[in-house]
Amino acid sequence: MKAAVVHAAGQNPVYDDFAEPTAAPGENRITVTAAALSPLVRARASGAHYSVSGAYPTVVGVDGVGRLEDGRRVYFMLPRAPWGAMAAFAVAPTTQIAPLPDGLDDATAAAIGNPGMSSWAAFKERARLKAGETVLINGATGSAGRLAVQIARHFGAKRVIATGRNSEALRSLAALGADATIALGDDEAALEDRFRSEFAKGIDVVVDYLWGKSAERLLVAAAKGLQDDAALRFVQVGSASGPNIALPSAVLRSKAITLMGSGLGSVPRDKLAADIGELLQAAATRGFAIPVRTVPLPDVEQAWGESDSAARTVFTISDR
């Protein structure tokens, strides 16, 4: 079969032949129709992500959309290695497959699955967001952050605050449900003051896609700005601004701040698959918006190095 194959650590995938998978007991073989390119896919393909085994050659792609042998349309996640999602066929455990609603096309479902899951799981499984609470999304101008604004509203957030560096993208978030936006500038003192004023009004949950300096300022501002009887759940999801922060120990002692992560290792895979099933149903009924750019899988070598900041790249698969 044809697939996007990485032959060695540090190499980009190439469109190549790869042996077809055979489903083992408890698995389903999927005829793949669409698979999205995401930061997680890039990190796993490079060998840099904590969840990879480091064995090569391997087919890239962590999730996708396709059809089972009986014709049912499904979303699947974390197919069995070395068969990734960017291939004619993949195999995945039955517990990591979710049905697709009729109102959601293959490319949109593939685009929404991974970035939408990041905030859906953060809100539902980790922060346990309650209707009427206030949410701050740190790094809301990317695909995942824009979906997080919409998903926070879906879960009943009373107020949604969004941060980001792109001023034009920040302004567009009001139409998706953001009540306030904060531009992430280089003046750390001014940024901390702005964060502190928002915490004084009350913030219950932070979902952080950036880490780095903005996360440092958020946590320090929370310690200074939260009311004495307030509690904050800070959920770390991504590290677009850097892998590390410098956090004074007093921050976690001065206020009731719970710091946690949300990712592949913090939520069981079957739970994640069930959550994504709920997400896709909600996407069909609520019309969650995400820009999508479709690219035929044979063009993977060229598209891999192109910017996908304006739209989520989804590879479509037809050659077998």
Mean of per-residue pLDDT scores for the chain: 93
| Domain co-membership, 242 together with 301 | no
Q: Do the beta carbons of residue 250 and residue 223 sit within 8 Å?
A: yes
pLDDT tens-digit series, residues 223-241: 999 999 999 999 999 999 9
pLDDT at 165 over 90: yes
Q: Are residues 210 and 145 in contact, defined by beta-carbon separation less than 8 angstroms? A: no
- Within a domain: 62: yes
pLDDT tier at 10, thresholds 50, 70, 90: confident
256 shares a domain with 119:
yes
The confidence score (pLDDT) of residue 176 equals 94
Judge if 88 and 130 occupy the same domain: no
User: What's the structural domain count of the chain?
Assistant: 2
Phi (first) and psi of residue 87, to 5 degrees: -160, 165
Stretch 17-36: mean pLDDT: 97
Query: Tokens in use for 43?
Result: 């990190």
| Segments forming the whole domain that contains residue 201 | 115-261
> Which position has the higher pLDDT, 186 or 107?
107
Determine, yes or no, domain membership for 34: yes
Q: Is residue 278 part of a domain?
A: no
